[in-house]
Amino acid sequence: MPDATTIAVAELAVTVGFELHRWELLTDFQLYTGYGNRQMLGLSAAGLAQCGGSCPNTAALLTLQDQRTDQTVVLGGSFLGAAAFASSLTSGFTNQRICTANGSCPYEAHALNIEFETPRTCGDVDTFLVTAPGGGNLANPANLNNALYWTANNGPNPLIDFHSTATSVSIDPSGQLYDPPFPADIAYCSVISPDVNLAGTPCVCATGGVTSGVLLNDRSLTRNTYYCRATWGCSQNSSINIAGQTCTCPDWRILVGNLQNDRLLTRNTYYCRASGDRCQQSSDVNINGQECTCAAQNVTAGHFTNSGSQNSNLYYCR
């Protein structure tokens, strides 16, 4: 099975074809500087217009370049690294631009419509009907492989097994990221679903140590993505302060932990953290600058910093 980055790139190629109905990377996408000063690939105004102003599956996949989503999605049995995914997409964009500019990647303007998916061992073969934008056949549909040159970063992507006929093109991605419903015997760790609420759907995630879990949409940055969580203990929504209550979280191999409200974007959600992991402290006295640790945020020698927001008594380990 290819690595998670390879699978994610192939999934993006299929999703773009499905939602934008063409492969025009240089027109429909752009490079920008995102969170943590990271260069990432994003939809352009032309790309958004191409899919009617909203490209939910494409946007959800692109969000996985953000460092705050690092190691949250499992593909091919391994967690997807945000930095590796962003690097592959931005390098691919540059490679496509150079290849197009020097005339090495010719292809015709085209329109794609999904025809069918055929199950395969590692995923699905996705076949698109292809025409010229105004209708009629392309002169050389095989050249559309050049429109996917961006997927061949550091060598050809083994999941872009491109085939074409006079009226269709097919590529082979991994098919376990979206398109519900799922067969009951398929184990999956995460799923992108912008149209169907999958919260509570039973799931299994061997990579995350979840043998009997449910899908939860519990990460604010990936609103359309549902993650397989153990059915007890990993997080709990509460309007009252339940920080410090004991918990368990097999997802993160925490046998005995404490609930902590340590994510600014989800202020009413308490997450199970390993005991002794001090990510947040409420205090009526000024503890700004006191030493702390927060394994959940990879802080091994940090200091409490006042939030400076609505709760002036709340300090975060930074």
Of 121, 145, 171, the residue at which a domain comes to its end is: 171
Long-range contacts formed by 115-120: CB under 8 A, 24+ apart: 115/168, 117/175, 117/179, 119/175, 120/172, 120/175
Are residues 23 and 144 both part of a single domain? Answer: yes
Do the bridges between strand 74-75 and strand 39-43 make them parallel or antiparallel, or are there none, so unpaired? unpaired
Instruction: Say if residue 11 is in the same domain as residue 160.
Output: yes
Within this chain, do residues 136 and 24 fall inside the same structural domain, yes or no? yes
Judge whether residue 45 has pLDDT over 90: yes
126 pLDDT higher than 80:
no
240/147 same-domain check: no
With beta carbons less than 8 A apart as the criterion, state whether 228 and 190 touch: yes
Are 167 and 27 part of one and the same domain? Answer: yes
User: Residue 274 is inside which H or E element, if any?
Assistant: strand 269-274
Q: Which of 177, 145, 8, 168 is nearest to 87 (CA)?
A: 8
Please check whether residues 153 and 297 belong to one and the same domain: no
Indicate the pLDDT class of residue 207, thresholds 50, 70 and 90: confident
Question: What pLDDT score was predicted for residue 310?
Answer: 46
Domain count of the fold of the chain: 2
Task: Kindly report each contact of residues 56-60 with a partner whose C-beta sits within 8 Å and lies 24 or more positions away, as own/partner.
Answer: 56/19, 56/194, 56/195, 56/224, 57/15, 57/18, 57/19, 57/178, 57/192, 57/194, 57/224, 58/12, 58/15, 58/16, 58/19, 58/20, 59/224, 60/192, 60/194, 60/222, 60/223, 60/224, 60/225
Query: Quick one: 242 and 160 in the same domain?
Result: no
DSSP class of 289:
T
Mean pLDDT of the chain: 79
| Highest mean pLDDT pick, 146-160, 285-299, 300-314 | 146-160
Q: Are residues 167 and 275 in the same domain?
A: no
> Is the pLDDT at 232 greater than 80, yes or no?
no
Q: Does residue 246 sit in the same domain as residue 153?
A: no
The verdict on residue 250 lying in a domain is yes
In a domain, 204, yes or no: no
Q: Residue by residue, what is the 3-state secondary structure of 236-273?
A: EECCCCCCCCEEEEHHHCEEEEEEECCCCCCCCEEEEE
If asked whether residues 154 and 289 sit together in one domain, one would say no
User: How far is residue 244's CA from residue 256's CA, in Å, rounded to a whole number?
Assistant: 11
Q: Kindly state whether residue 113 falls inside one of the protein's structural domains.
A: yes
Tens of pLDDT, residues 169-196: 877 654 444 444 444 444 667 887 777 7
Q: What is the pLDDT of residue 215?
A: 83
In a domain, 186, yes or no: no
| Residue 218 lies inside a defined structural domain of this protein | no
Domain identity same for 144 and 24: yes
The pLDDT value recorded for residue 275 is: 61
Question: For residue 217, is it within any domain?
Answer: no
| Domain assignment of residue 216, yes or no | no
Q: Tell the burial category of 253 from Cβ atoms under 10 Å away from its Cβ (0-12, 13-18, 19+).
A: exposed
Asked if 157 contacts 8 with a C-beta cutoff of 8 angstroms, the reply is: no
Tell me if 87 is assigned to some domain. yes
The whole domain housing 310 covers 232-318
Together in a domain, 239 and 161: no
pLDDT score of 187: 63
